[in-house]
């Protein structure tokens, strides 16, 4: 049997523990707590081509039901999927480089 969820109302903002790569401000995290059912979504710089997102508790523990993802091209990739895509990109780049090298100047 699982524990029933409960709500605690307080006027003291919680301490938010961010991973070193998180670019979301503490105020944004606190404002978003209500929308995320008490969890925090950490994100690296979303202006980058590839970024990282992770759902965690305010004190920095991973959400057991949430998934940390590598965000690329509008898709959330699990760690294994991100590594698979990276390997495929490197292979394609190597293939293209060999082709263009053979062509010469």
30 counts as binding Zn ion under rule CB under 5 A: no
Region near Zn ion per CB under 5 A, out of 17-25, 31-39, 58-66, 86-94: 17-25
Q: How far apart are CA 18 and CA 41, in angstroms?
A: 9
Among 18, 54, 55, 77, binds Zn ion (CB under 5 A): 18
22 counts as binding Zn ion under rule CB under 5 A: yes
Q: Which residues, 6+ apart, have CB-to-CB distance to 17 below 8 Å?
A: 56, 58, 59, 60
Using the minimum distance from each CB to Zn ion, give the nearer residue, 13 or 88.
13
42 counts as binding Zn ion under rule CB under 5 A: yes
Binding residues with Zn ion: total (CB under 5 A): 4
| String of DSSP letters for 49-60 | SEEEEEEE-TTS
Among 14, 17, 24, 51, binds Zn ion (CB under 5 A): 24
Element (H, E) at 42: strand 40-43
């Amino acid at each position: 049997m699982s524990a029933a969820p409960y709500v605690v109302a307080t006027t003291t903002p919680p301490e938010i523990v961010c991973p070193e790569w998180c670019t979301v401000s503490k105020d944004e995290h606190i404002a978003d707590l209500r929308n995320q059912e008490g969890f925090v979504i950490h994100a690296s710089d979303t202006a980058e081509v590839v970024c990282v997102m992770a759902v965690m508790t305010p004190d920095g523990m991973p959400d057991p039901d949430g998934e940390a993802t590598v965000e690329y091209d509008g898709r959330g990739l699990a760690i294994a999927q991100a590594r698979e895509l990276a390997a495929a990109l490197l292979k394609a780049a190597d293939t293209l480089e060999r082709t263009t090298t053979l062509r010469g100047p």
